[in-house]
Amino acid sequence: MHPPAARPPWHRHLYVQVLIAVAVGIAVGWWRPAWGVALEPLGTGFIKLIKMMIAPIIFCTVVHGIASMTDLKKLGRVGLKTLLYFEVVSTFALIIGLVVVNVLQPGAGFHYSPTAADVAAAQSFTAKAHTLSTVEFLLHIIPVTFFDAFGSGDLLQVLLVSALIGFAIAALGERGAPALRAIHFGSEIFFGVLRIIVRLAPLGAFGAMAYTVGRYGFGALANLLALKAGFYITAIFFILIVLGSIARVAGFSILRFLAYIKDELFLVLGTSSSETALPGMIQKMRRLGCAESTVGLVIPTGYSFNLDGTNIYMSMAAIFLAQATGAHLDLRQQITLLLVAMISSKGASGVTGAGLIALAATLAVVPGVPPESMALLVGIDRFMSECRSLTNLIGNGVATVVISRWEGEVTPAQLRSALLPQAS
């Protein structure tokens, strides 16, 4: 019987290194704001390195999962269950945000009127905002060329191309075996590159946090405290109660699940982008016992269709701005806002600032709320983005395990065993 492997020193854990880097980054940004702003390329560069690997990893994961699946009816069944789950849970997130912001009334009595500087600050987001019709949205999923999907970084385009290649290899039968082995080998190479890049996570988190505090200062943490506090409390409630209840029904503990993905959570905390944790989440969901095809379908699709944190933020932020500008929205208008937000939130991935762009698209159809009022949120969006991204990440992880449970790929006993502290 082999002796148990020695635990690595505490300082070798990625989440500890990232947490220390975040603390040091906050200190540098507060002590020398100019230095903090100058350190922005560290955070930006790390995020770009991670995003560079997302498309090829998603491609290999989805292609291998579909091509190796003998029962293609299962794929259609999983896809239908996934979209249904996403829409139900995302809608629930929007409704919770709407209820909380109406109860707390964080913008009441603000009496805000935009200045010329506010108009300029908000224009960068309103210019990018464009609410796609259903037809436009579907056509946008189709890339201009095969390789354009990888160049644009649009996950839905990558998913479409990957699914088509996977089906094509599956249709070849035994003749497709060499291609399947090549895809599997390519996946191992890309994940190997990713392991090298992730070692730079503390450096990226340090630069991102130093820039955030140096650029916006602790004043941004104090301003609009009611909205931020309400949003954070609502997100925590959604994770522990809503997602926690879903997890309990599926046979696992949400708290143990959070401990299992702690490295990814701290990575998102330091970079304010849930995309940085996407490859790591794919690996960890596989280790839990979820089928490769299920992971490859649910995780990337969730980054466009299951943005629980973004949905909570959008409903709360839109009503907050209405309250702050004195625009009264009746129940019918708020329901309209919710329906529009359900559409405009699709495709708002974990990149910092995407939440504001989606919010601008939503406000475009809400009468009485000036788009310039979004300047109120620009200064604190970086801090809101962290909570949005964390909630999005957790929601997609829970969705993957739940769909896998529905498909009988993993049992509650297996989940409980895999989620034990020593298994993480």
pLDDT score of 110 = 65
Token reading at 275: 């995309």
Q: Which residues contact 155 (CB under 8 A, 6 or more apart)?
A: 54, 55, 58, 300, 301, 303, 304, 349
pLDDT score of 344 = 63
Q: d(Cα 345, Cα 368) in Å, to the nearest integer? A: 21
SS3 content of the chain, % helix, strand, coil (to 5): 80, 0, 20
Q: How confident is the chain (424 residues) per 10-residue block, as mean pLDDT?
A: 56 76 86 87 84 83 77 75 89 90 79 57 52 64 83 77 87 85 88 85 84 69 69 92 94 93 86 79 90 83 81 85 79 78 59 60 69 68 79 93 91 88 53
Architecture of domain 10-423: Orthogonal Bundle (1.10)
Say what the pTM is.
0.77
Q: What are all long-range contacts of 187-196, with beta carbons under 8 Å and residues at least 24 apart?
A: 187/57, 187/60, 187/61, 187/64, 190/53, 190/56, 190/57, 190/60, 191/57, 191/279, 191/283, 193/53, 194/50, 194/53, 194/57, 194/279, 194/280
Per-domain residue ranges of the chain: 10-423
Dihedral of alpha carbons 175, 178, 180, 183, sign: negative
